[in-house]
Chains A and B, each alone.
Chain A
Amino acid sequence: MRQPRRRRKARSQPDSIPVNQATQDPQPPTRRHWFARRWLCSFLVIVLLALIATDAPGMLARAMANRAAGQLDNASAERWISVAKSVSWRHGEMELLSARLLRRQGHADELEQALQRAIRSGADSKLVSLERALAQAQSGSLASVEPQLFDALRNGLGDSAEISDAYANGLTISSRFDQALKVLQAWQIDYPKDPRPAYRIGRIYEHKAVWDKAQEHYRQSISVSPTYYPARFRLGRALMYDRQLEAAKDEFAACLSMANPIAAQIQIASCLKALASTNQATELLREVLKNDDAKILASYAALEETPEHHEAARILGDLEFELGNNAEAVRWLEHALAFNDRDSSSRYSLAVTLREMGREEEAEEHFARFQVVREALSRANVLRSRIQADSEDIDARFELGELLLTHESIRMGLFWLRSVLETQPDHQGAHQALAKYYSDLAVNAPEYKTLADFHRQQFRLVTP
């Protein structure tokens, strides 16, 4: 009976102990050691308690998050916000910063949730209110928040660079370009090392089709911060417009050191295509389009761009057509149209490709739809010229907004409709169009219900 027990013991404990293990086996702690350890542990606990009591790790993480946000490095800022939230119980400031990053990226829907979290986490209500005002200004609804922003700038409440940015953006959306330029120039003087004011000035000149000045300001922005990629990207675009394709390609190539350089790669492919390097452009885009659309969009977002069209799919579709790969061309052009049904360039290319493939009926259908859009947009050119001749032409602005919203570009459609309301806040047509747009949107995205209700209410107020 005892033998088996010994055998069991033998299985659990080897008969011989290795020499090295035997020599390293800790000696039983002496009393001195025991006290040393205890003191060390106590000290660490005290330090830890002190850190917790003073929120030092949170302060550090918050500082890093704010620094990254100040350097416009949204990705790093988000990482530090996450760290700060995990080491600190004070979430208010970080929720507010999260909201700011969401605002910068144009995520209006998530912004309000972040602000609500900020309030619950004890963020300064004035700053929350200011952030909300900045979001409103940035979206072009400047009228109700303009005095608040003006006061904030005058009294030094909040981050004046952020306020200037959003305020100028709102003024730009409202076509108040001269005032926007003044705000941006003041910002530029106050923050000479911030690349954004010059960049924003460049965007205004680009919008006004003053390309030389746009390029000049993008270059200014780059000289302030060579890694401010939005300016490089826009400079590349402006150079493409000027047909300086090699120079444009260089600017896009400089953006390749971004964390997610897909947008730059797409533009390089576009340059290569225009430079008749069809094969190189095709190879590059085939690689790019191995990424999903979300990653492609994220790359544009990092450049402060929100593309309405799937440029990569359209260009690759055209290239495949040029190379005679018609089936592939159709696949990518259909992908571009699935991304945005209003993409008339892709529809035209698809129609031409289908015609070439002998799929006449499908081609006819796309040609017909394209023709409808073209006819509408030919009217848009007339309206643009009218506005250029008389910037106060409200009827032209309204008609252009409706046309673009329906046929070409939601962003530009909204821009012109809002510009109508800036001049004539009770313009019932503009309110009606916006109410309809936001109501349609609110079916799948309830966060737009507020805007829909607002415009519906305004429309009712002014409708007899």
Chain B
Amino acid sequence: MMLGHNRIFDSFRNPKIWMRIDSVRYWNRRRLFTTIVAITVTFSGCNRGNEKVGPTTEIHQSAIDANPSNGRQSSDLLLEFTDITEKSKVASIYFNGEEADHYSIVESIGGGVGTFDFNHDGLPDLFFPGGGRLKEGQPLQGLPGSLWMSNDDLSYHDASEPSGLNVAGLYSHGTAIADVDADGFPDLLVTGYGGLQLFINNGDGTFTEQATQRGLDLKSWSTSAAFGDFDGDGLVDLYVTNYVDWSWENHPTCRGGGAAGRDVCTPQLFNGIDDVIYWNQGDGNFQRNDQSAGLAAGGKGLGVLAVDIDDDGLLDIYVANDTTANFLYRNLGKRQFRESGLVSGTALDHLGIPNGSMGLATFDLDKDLRPDLFVTNFENETFAVYRNAGGGNFRCVSERTGVTALGMLRVGFGVVSGDFNLTGREDLVVSNGHVMRYPRQDNLRQPALYIANDGSGSLESIQFADESYFSTPKRGRGVITTDLDDDGRLDLVFSHINEPAALLRNRTASAGNWISLRLVGRNSNRDAIGARAVLHTQNGSHLRHVIGGGSYLSQSSYLLHWGFDQKDIPVAIDVFWPDGEKNRIEKPSPNQPLIFVQPAQTKQF
């Protein structure tokens, strides 16, 4: 543990590490300048008081008073996302191996996408798992993932080979990113059938795969993963969802519209596999959880999200299970959890039925400064919205919010929340696509969905022009948000099955202002996963979390982003660090990216 913390500090103190950062070829001077200015501004404005604070009930009330529900603004009509895939030169295709016509359930999962600045040049790079090939009776053949390095003009080049990430071996699905060894460089996890791959960032633009060496000994079928400091030791631990017990020996034939009347089998024919937590030991190694962690048996995990749902300072975990009840693990501290999905009201839908849940997002639907949950589900089930009622309890408000009235048959996968049009309200974007190859009811390819939040607790889908990405059917799976062009508007990256990934640049001509904030933990984990931040403006307060996991098989940026009306004035940002410290950034300047490094160590290690 000590070693881990020392390494956090090393990343700031050790001149060798800083030198390595400086030596990165693609360091952008303009961004460096912006970053330095931002750090200076934020530090000059921050309250260095180190007092720990309890739950902020007074903020909840002020938020309600100061932010009456308001109607839709005209800027909503200006939503504009430009598909820049071709221009970006990103040419990543996830292959699921279905051309062999084995109709394996492995084919239906797909792959995700992750974003991180692996070389510290200030530009978000992209990683896509590669998938694999299937040959009956033989081990699944993995295809290497691809790393796309940003060139600062919204174009990318393939850095898979020089980085060493073009390693095959695992029929891959998901990715999660965090600085697991706290050396200042983000590391990369890849999930898939048969285990995990952990690519340790060497800090020189290359990676080394070290899953087994570091104790990530999983051999099962992993899907999504979430990093987060679950035991409060300042180091990121890892939660991995496992899916089902499919193998060539357990490969039933299921009827459908494919060759010889076959199609992919449903997950109901298989048993779920227990999820796992790996505790970061602080010496660069992980240790798998034992029974005392309190994880539930079974589950058919596809999505996971780590967020402190009850503001008790302990990072909780929400798991999307396919066709079985979702799990909500309330963190009790001391590496123990209590599964409270059913009693919390987050396990089932509004009819008390478990859904085929896939993707997860958190957002503050009703601006009560509590994280609400959004879950994508299988067709006919509708997406689910759980409103946080406080105390770890939720109400399923899918009907009340109008989500059940969206009226479309969609198999929803990845989902992200964000204020894409800078209105002060968090909208949602969902990636859709069917799991069956020959679906009876709906199409294999389905368009993505933009769900707008009207600020009064209602959600509705937005229609786009015919040529828009949002009107084009895809076999969608993962989706992430990040600010690709650093213009303060959240962009989107989608992953698909057997077709190229898509990059959407947000060109929305909004009248709003924005603030983006990257938190860098010192006592807390370096990515500040689990941190909570509230932007106070003259018109209200806006909650954001640095979440672990989320969406589906994917890793969004850990950047916190707020939009607000141009006439509104930001007053302060309260930052609640995972280790319990609180800082205040006074009068944050709008329309520029900020980086806030956790103030100097106050705890004694």
Which single member of A212, A347, A385 contacts B268 (CB below 8 Å)?
A385
Q: Which residue of A lies closest to B406 (CB)?
A: A243
In A182-237, which residues have CB < 8 Å from any B CB? 209-212
In B451-470, which residues have CB < 8 Å from any A CB? 458
Which single member of B395, B407, B408 contacts A352 (CB below 8 Å)?
B395
Any chain A CB within 8 A of the CB of B66? no
Question: Is the beta-carbon distance between B402 and A276 smaller than 8 angstroms?
Answer: yes
Q: Which residue of B lies closest to A318 (CB)?
A: B350
Any chain A CB within 8 A of the CB of B354? yes
User: Chain B residues with Cβ under 8 A from A364's Cβ?
Assistant: 343
Q: Which residue of B lies closest to A364 (CB)?
A: B343
Any chain B CB within 8 A of the CB of A245? yes
Question: Is the beta-carbon distance between A388 and B440 smaller than 8 angstroms?
Answer: no
Question: Is the beta-carbon distance between B269 and A386 smaller than 8 angstroms?
Answer: yes
CB distance from A298 to the nearest CB of B (A): 26
- A241 and B458 CA atoms in complex are apart in Å by 22
In A360-378, which residues have CB < 8 Å from any B CB? 363-364, 367, 370-371, 374, 378
Any chain B CB within 8 A of the CB of A455? no
Question: Is the beta-carbon distance between A385 and B266 smaller than 8 angstroms?
Answer: yes
User: Chain B residues with Cβ under 8 A from A352's Cβ?
Assistant: 345, 395
Which single member of A276, A355, A370 contacts B393 (CB below 8 Å)?
A355
Q: Which residue of B lies closest to A379 (CB)?
A: B268
- A345 and B352 CA atoms in complex are apart in Å by 5
The 0/1 profile, CB within 8 Å of B marked 1, for residues 380-405 of chain A is 01101110110000000000000000
CB distance from B132 to the nearest CB of A (A): 25
Question: Is the beta-carbon distance between A378 and B324 smaller than 8 angstroms?
Answer: yes
CB distance from B282 to the nearest CB of A (A): 38
Which single member of A243, A355, A367, A370 contacts B407 (CB below 8 Å)?
A243
Question: Is the beta-carbon distance between B406 and A382 smaller than 8 angstroms?
Answer: no
Question: Is the beta-carbon distance between A348 and B399 smaller than 8 angstroms?
Answer: no
Question: Is the beta-carbon distance between B354 and A389 smaller than 8 angstroms?
Answer: no
Any chain B CB within 8 A of the CB of A52? no
Any chain A CB within 8 A of the CB of B404? yes
Question: Is the beta-carbon distance between B400 and A278 smaller than 8 angstroms?
Answer: yes
Question: Is the beta-carbon distance between A370 and B342 smaller than 8 angstroms?
Answer: yes
Any chain B CB within 8 A of the CB of A406? no
User: Chain B residues with Cβ under 8 A from A389's Cβ?
Assistant: 252-255, 265, 269
Supposing A243-B407, A367-B342, A378-B354 touch, asked if A275 and B268 sit within 8 A by C-beta, the answer is no
- A135 and B380 CA atoms in complex are apart in Å by 36
Any chain B CB within 8 A of the CB of A174? no
By DSSP majority rule, is chain B's interface helix, strand, loop, or mixed? loop
- A173 and B47 CA atoms in complex are apart in Å by 73
In A322-351, which residues have CB < 8 Å from any B CB? 322, 344-345, 347-349
The 0/1 profile, CB within 8 Å of A marked 1, for residues 389-407 of chain B is 1000101010111101111
Any chain A CB within 8 A of the CB of B100? no
User: Chain A residues with Cβ under 8 A from B325's Cβ?
Assistant: 374
- A381 and B356 CA atoms in complex are apart in Å by 12
User: Chain B residues with Cβ under 8 A from A243's Cβ?
Assistant: 380, 382, 404-409
User: Chain B residues with Cβ under 8 A from A209's Cβ?
Assistant: 440
- A381 and B324 CA atoms in complex are apart in Å by 10
- A318 and B345 CA atoms in complex are apart in Å by 14
- A352 and B401 CA atoms in complex are apart in Å by 18
Question: Is the beta-carbon distance between B441 and A212 smaller than 8 angstroms?
Answer: yes
User: Chain B residues with Cβ under 8 A from A344's Cβ?
Assistant: 352
Any chain B CB within 8 A of the CB of A274? yes
Question: Is the beta-carbon distance between A242 and B389 smaller than 8 angstroms?
Answer: no
Q: How many residues of A contact B (CB 8 A)?
A: 39
- A195 and B538 CA atoms in complex are apart in Å by 65
Question: Is the beta-carbon distance between B382 and A348 smaller than 8 angstroms?
Answer: no
User: Chain B residues with Cβ under 8 A from A370's Cβ?
Assistant: 342, 352
In B349-396, which residues have CB < 8 Å from any A CB? 350-354, 380, 382, 389, 393, 395
Any chain B CB within 8 A of the CB of A250? no
Any chain A CB within 8 A of the CB of B159? no
CB distance from B338 to the nearest CB of A (A): 14
- A212 and B257 CA atoms in complex are apart in Å by 15
CB distance from A377 to the nearest CB of B (A): 9
Any chain A CB within 8 A of the CB of B323? yes
Which single member of A242, A275, A378 contacts B405 (CB below 8 Å)?
A275
Any chain B CB within 8 A of the CB of A124? no
Any chain B CB within 8 A of the CB of A244? yes
Supposing A276-B400, A348-B352, A374-B325 touch, asked if A388 and B405 sit within 8 A by C-beta, the answer is no
User: Chain A residues with Cβ under 8 A from B441's Cβ?
Assistant: 211-212, 242
Any chain A CB within 8 A of the CB of B123? no
Question: Is the beta-carbon distance between B343 and A355 smaller than 8 angstroms?
Answer: yes
| Interface-central residue, A241, A355, A363, by most chain B CB under 10 Å | A355
The 0/1 profile, CB within 8 Å of B marked 1, for residues 308-330 of chain A is 00000000001000100000000
User: Chain A residues with Cβ under 8 A from B389's Cβ?
Assistant: 356
- A83 and B351 CA atoms in complex are apart in Å by 47
Any chain B CB within 8 A of the CB of A273? yes
Q: Which residue of A lies closest to B389 (CB)?
A: A356
Question: Is the beta-carbon distance between B405 and A276 smaller than 8 angstroms?
Answer: yes
Supposing A243-B404, A389-B253 touch, asked if A356 and B352 sit within 8 A by C-beta, the answer is no
Q: Which residue of B lies closest to A246 (CB)?
A: B407
User: Chain B residues with Cβ under 8 A from A356's Cβ?
Assistant: 389, 393, 395
In B308-362, which residues have CB < 8 Å from any A CB? 323-325, 342-343, 345, 348, 350-354
- A147 and B253 CA atoms in complex are apart in Å by 36
- A389 and B353 CA atoms in complex are apart in Å by 23
User: Chain A residues with Cβ under 8 A from B458's Cβ?
Assistant: 276
CB distance from B436 to the nearest CB of A (A): 12
Question: Is the beta-carbon distance between A244 and B407 smaller than 8 angstroms?
Answer: yes
User: Chain A residues with Cβ under 8 A from B402's Cβ?
Assistant: 275-276
User: Chain B residues with Cβ under 8 A from A348's Cβ?
Assistant: 348, 351-352
- A161 and B325 CA atoms in complex are apart in Å by 46
Supposing A275-B402, A388-B254 touch, asked if A345 and B395 sit within 8 A by C-beta, the answer is no
Which single member of A273, A318, A355, A388 contacts B255 (CB below 8 Å)?
A388
- A318 and B399 CA atoms in complex are apart in Å by 11
- A6 and B440 CA atoms in complex are apart in Å by 101
- A300 and B254 CA atoms in complex are apart in Å by 37
CB distance from A393 to the nearest CB of B (A): 11
Question: Is the beta-carbon distance between B354 and A374 smaller than 8 angstroms?
Answer: yes
User: Chain B residues with Cβ under 8 A from A273's Cβ?
Assistant: 399
Question: Is the beta-carbon distance between A385 and B440 smaller than 8 angstroms?
Answer: no
- A430 and B350 CA atoms in complex are apart in Å by 34
CB distance from B528 to the nearest CB of A (A): 33
User: Chain A residues with Cβ under 8 A from B354's Cβ?
Assistant: 374, 378
| Interface-central residue, B353, B405, B408, by most chain A CB under 10 Å | B405
- A241 and B409 CA atoms in complex are apart in Å by 9
The 0/1 profile, CB within 8 Å of A marked 1, for residues 258-271 of chain B is 00000001101100
- A274 and B403 CA atoms in complex are apart in Å by 8
Q: Which residue of A lies closest to B345 (CB)?
A: A352
Question: Is the beta-carbon distance between B400 and A245 smaller than 8 angstroms?
Answer: no
Question: Is the beta-carbon distance between B348 and A276 smaller than 8 angstroms?
Answer: no
- A136 and B536 CA atoms in complex are apart in Å by 72
CB distance from A209 to the nearest CB of B (A): 7
CB distance from B441 to the nearest CB of A (A): 6
The 0/1 profile, CB within 8 Å of B marked 1, for residues 265-305 of chain A is 00000000111101000000000000000000000000000
- A45 and B324 CA atoms in complex are apart in Å by 78
- A371 and B399 CA atoms in complex are apart in Å by 23
User: What 20 additional pairs, Cβ within 8 angstroms, besides A243-B404, A276-B458, A322-B399?
Assistant: A210-B440, A212-B441, A241-B380, A242-B380, A243-B382, A243-B408, A243-B409, A275-B405, A276-B405, A278-B399, A345-B351, A345-B352, A348-B351, A348-B352, A367-B343, A374-B342, A374-B348, A385-B268, A388-B255, A389-B269
Chain B interface (Cβ < 8 Å from any Cβ of A):
252-255, 265-266, 268-269, 323-325, 342-343, 345, 348, 350-354, 380, 382, 389, 393, 395, 397, 399-402, 404-409, 440-441, 458
10 residue pairs of the A-B complex, CB under 8 angstroms, read A211-B441, A212-B440, A212-B441, A242-B441, A243-B380, A275-B402, A348-B348, A356-B395, A385-B266, A389-B254
* Closest 8 pairs between A and B when the two form their complex, measured CB to CB: A348-B352, A385-B268, A276-B402, A274-B404, A345-B352, A381-B268, A275-B405, A385-B269
